[in-house]
Structure 1
């Protein structure tokens, strides 16, 4: 991170903050690495670092180093020795901070292969030193202690756009300190620019206008191409599961039930699945539960029974159920309660590269009193007309 792109990149490491008793070992390790850096034409074999962007840039870096040495000592490299070859070449420079509270290491950025090692005495001291930087694109925190990681991340997050927590468990697969990813924020507060690069879907959404639409459920369904609760529901002689993707319409609905739940159903489900939680098996304990007041049916028994009320069993356009989203259990179901399920086509999404598409169904299960027992979305794969035929 010091020598990549000759240190002339926005995420290059400028300050290396280490525990006070590790300052010298870290410096020696860095010096050993830096001693192997070969400066020159990147096209030549063996060269590991090229030139800076321009002579003016090199002069600016040397000027920054002169500012840094007001409160730091050069421990590797010679900033006064400039390569005489044509081009903006310079060797890496490593400094050791003397007075860690001095402003120079925290406020001067030498935009080149230059870093300063700064020792800290405690976590509180570290957080104070980090804040003195007044904003950074990225920080790498090297620790295997999760409690320490939490404390430092929470304390440094306000000053960084991104934080990499690095240890022996993730080092081999880590993308590295300076590697922005499209799914992550890349940008930073304060001196880091006060913004962020618009990577991934965040960048697309940033350029899209948001408009609030008001209207009836039917109007909102038509505009948004997604069925909205309260919009028209269409029932008919043809089961929705018998319709292919071209025939199915938003609002196509099947109502199944009622189906009475018995104590035998609850007992069998508990024994068959092994889910013998006391609310389903122990009358006395279940009665003492303030939420239930007695034996109640398993939530997944309710979902299973509901499926039995709306599924069409014969082979047809519905190829598979591939998931359930947003499942919520609401009113508890007791023995002798009756269940009715309403399943409505909510969202139809054709897949361009497949002979089928995705259909999201709105499922609402109610009891004999009309109280909602469970709500969820059922996700299915449904064949297109040509595939169904």
Structure 2
């Protein structure tokens, strides 16, 4: 059986055999893997020429709906992914993290469409005034890069590693070429086959290289983005390649790191937090058999608790059952390959030269359920102890990428930070404590050297995602040894695949480009009230100029009675000395309420509801006797999908509410959010 590549719209086998994929549990052959003979220049050009234009034609709303549809489709087929995942040595829990965690990234990024405009590109920030009379302004837009994203992923998460990356670039409108590790690419291939068969993604949006991928970066060019997940040494070598440096190719490195978990001084033995700490670090040693870039490699505990922690962690490790993940009761599977076992043991040999091995080792092999050490890539957990963490550096320099960790003492929290930072940059650190002040001190001082910090205590434990779980809406990466890169991060991650460009011109021009009304642009009067128009009929910039109202003392008193807001500036003229007010002033919320009374069209029409106010500001005091009016302008339109066949077809319309006085100065400004019915109910 050949593990195939998907390139230029076809499933193809490479020439020869670059690697023989084997079952990590039984040692049985799965299939030959090769990408030899593939024309990578054509692969990259196919993505740029075919996938890129198709994705760039789609708006963020359409891309988001595409990701949601893909996530729902993959969830229907997850059982077949689990069956293959077991062959990588993963338990059901391990596979859940990889498979459903990866699909969760699709869902999370799909939901981000609500933070983007109904355009193929993004409007960034606010306009900047560049002239005295307002006829020349500046803004920023961010457009999809005109290249491909090349994702070179590690062996440990063959599904999550792909989906967490492509979810971001696809949402941005950029196609991808994915090269998972050849060791576990047979699982990635199964998932990609299902993606391609679904026809949910435009052709050219996703290509797959299952083999070694030698030469895949030779033809990258300006506009392309390369991401690498794996060892820091390999990542830095790729990052320094001439084609990356000389062609201005964006490179993101997410490297394995020596992550540290700290037991707070307040978390003494017998406290819930002590028990949580022991459970958490043990889980991080055994989940995925320790093959996680975020796993706890260094366990930092107050020196007077070290014996208790060592005994408790060892006890939990001893109760962890290893073997075939499909067998009942197995809680820890194997490493991905026997080669990985060799590499981990080589690192262990270096570490044991300077540190005590206090649990595990080759002379304490655990029982294997449903297999054995000869057939599978099994390795029992190992726990080291470093009594002099500020002097013995091996635990801070050597990473054994498996079920191996080192326990070490600290004297005070300041020293704990110092020890944690000896890892020279990590993806994640954590502290377990019930003392929020202790947590604050650790987080603030350790943050410069860690990409993410988890604070765990009894209050958050039930819902905490744990030390080792990066989340789609938060950044994943870290400084120094961890690579200095940044992935996911919600909206931030999508922006990495967009080119920010400053634009300058007349407000009318900038309004047309951004499709968002810009202050100072022309506001043609609507031919009929905008609340009488359906979503498709509304045009950005068209404006209703309302009737006017003169504010009275009676208005102020009545609003105070209704709202209960009797703030002195509204109700007590004798208390205004030393304030900015010249007399009693109308409530800002009365001004907005009265504005609504002026701009709302009362009769039933296409407007279904008003569901919020954004960016409300009161810019000038309004005193009794002041006459106010409203300029009510279509600011922005965002399409919205139907949730079901019976749902009303509608879109979101943002209206700019500008309240002005009899001197034509703005006294209040806000954006209201409405749902507006469409004419075409089939959309």
Note whether the superposition's TM-score is higher than 0.5: yes
Q: Among 333, 337, 347, which residue is 2:626 paired with? A: 337
Q: RCO greater where, 1 or 2, for CA within 8 Å and sep 6 or more? A: 2
Q: 1:208 to 1:302 in 2, by over 3 A?
A: same
The 1:126–1:177 alpha-carbon spacing in structure 2 relative to 1, beyond 3 Å, is same
Unaligned 5+ runs, structure 2: 1-283, 366-371, 643-647
1:374 aligns with 2:668: yes
Match in the other structure for 2:591 = 302
Q: How far, CA to CA, are the matches of 1:62 and 1:174 in structure 2?
A: 32
**Is the deviation greater in 351-360 or in 13-22?**
351-360
**Per-residue deviation at 1:168?**
0.8
What is the CA–CA distance in structure 2 between the aligned matches of 1:54 and 1:351, rounded to whole Å? 47
Asked whether 1:229 is paired with 2:512, we answer no
**Equivalent position SS for 1:161:** coil
- Per the alignment, do residues 84 and 240 of structure 1 end up closer, same or farther by CA in structure 2, a change over 3 Å counting? closer
Alignment correspondent of 1:29: 312
Matched, 1:318 2:612: no
Is 198-207 or 183-192 further displaced after alignment?
Answer: 198-207
Aligned counterparts of 2:558 and 2:432: Cα–Cα separation in 1: 53
Between Structure 1 and Structure 2, how many residues are aligned? 386
Can you list the C-alpha shifts for 1:76-110, whole angstroms capped at 9, x where unaligned? Answer: 11245568533332211112211121212211212
Distance 2:635 2:649 in 1: 20
* Corresponding residue number in structure 2 for 1:161: 451
SS of the equivalent of 1:172 reads coil
Name the residue aligned to 1:147. Answer: 437
Tell me the distance in 1 between the aligned counterparts of 2:482 and 2:285. Answer: 18
- Structure 1 distance, partners of 2:446, 2:550, is 57
Contact 2:387 2:409 in 1 (8 A): no
Answering whether residue 423 of structure 2 is matched by residue 129 of structure 1, we say no
Structure 2 Cα separation of the partners of residues 123 and 367 of structure 1:
59
- In the other structure, the counterpart of 2:261 is none
Q: Give, in angstroms, the shift of residue 199 of structure 1.
A: 5.9
Give 1 or 2 for the bigger CA radius of gyration: 1
In structure 2, which of residues 311, 327, 330 is the aligned counterpart of residue 44 of structure 1?
327
- Aligned with 1:214: secondary structure? strand
The yes-or-no answer on 1:357 pairing with 2:640 is: no
Following TM superposition, by how much is the alpha carbon of 1:191 offset from its aligned partner in structure 2, in angstroms?
1.1
Provide the rounded CA distance (Å) in 2 between the counterparts of 1:92 and 1:237: 75
Corresponding residue number in structure 1 for 2:348: 65
For the 8 Å contact 1:71–1:99, the answer to whether it is kept is no
Which has the higher mean CA deviation after the structures are superposed, 200-209 or 135-144?
200-209
Q: 1:241 aligns to what SS in structure 2?
A: helix
Instruction: Check the 8 A contact 2:381/2:403 in 1, yes or no.
Output: yes
Q: Is 2:349 the partner of 1:99?
A: no
Q: Does 1:11 align with 2:300?
A: no
In 2: Cα distance, 1:225 partner to 1:374 partner: 23
Which residue among 552, 555, 569 is the counterpart of 1:262?
Answer: 552
Report SS of the residue matched to 2:503: coil
Q: Are 1:195 and 2:485 counterparts?
A: yes
Distance (Å, rounded) in 2 between the aligned partners of 1:362 and 1:90: 63
Distance 1:54 1:73 in 2: 27
TM-score when normalising by structure 2 = 0.54
Q: Structure 1 residues 240 and 87, CA, compared in 2 at 3 Å: closer, same or farther?
A: closer
Structure 1 residues 217 and 61: CA distance shift in structure 2, 3 A = same
2:622 is the counterpart of 1:328? no
Given that 1:71 and 1:98 are in contact with CA atoms closer than 8 Å, whether structure 2 keeps it comes out as: no
The 3 A distance-change label for structure 1 pair 106 and 233 is same
Aligned residue for 1:136, secondary structure, equals coil
After the TM superposition, which parts of structure 1 deviate over 6 Å for at least 4 consecutive aligned residues? none
Cα separation, 2, equivalents of 1:237 and 1:111: 68
The alignment partner of 1:246 has SS state of helix
* Residue in 1 that maps onto 2:498: 208
Q: Is the 8 A contact 1:288 1:294 kept in 2?
A: no
Contact 1:253 1:342 in 2 (8 A): yes
For residues 386 and 320 of structure 1, what CA distance do their matches in structure 2 show? 18
> Residues 185 and 199 of structure 1 are in contact (CA less than 8 Å); yes or no, is this contact kept in structure 2?
yes
User: Which residue matches 1:220?
Assistant: 510
Change (3 A) 1:351 1:138: same
Q: Cα–Cα, structure 1 residues 59 and 215, in superposed 2: closer, same or farther, change >3 Å? A: same
Offset at 1:386?
4.3
Which segment drifts farther, 258-267 or 212-221? 212-221
> What do residues 168-191 of structure 1 show as CA deviations (whole Å, max 9, x unaligned)?
111111112111221111111111
SS of 1:385's equivalent?
coil
Deviation at 1:284, TM superposition (A): 1.7
Q: Distance in 1 between matches of 2:317 and 2:655?
A: 61
1:176 aligns with 2:461: no
| Equivalent position SS for 2:637 | strand
> Quick check: 1:239 aligned with 2:541?
no
Measure, in 1, the Cα distance between the counterparts of 2:533 and 2:341.
70
- How far apart are residue 194 of structure 1 and its match? 2.0
8 Å CA contact 2:474–2:488 kept in 1: the answer is no
* 3-state SS in 1 of match to 2:323: coil
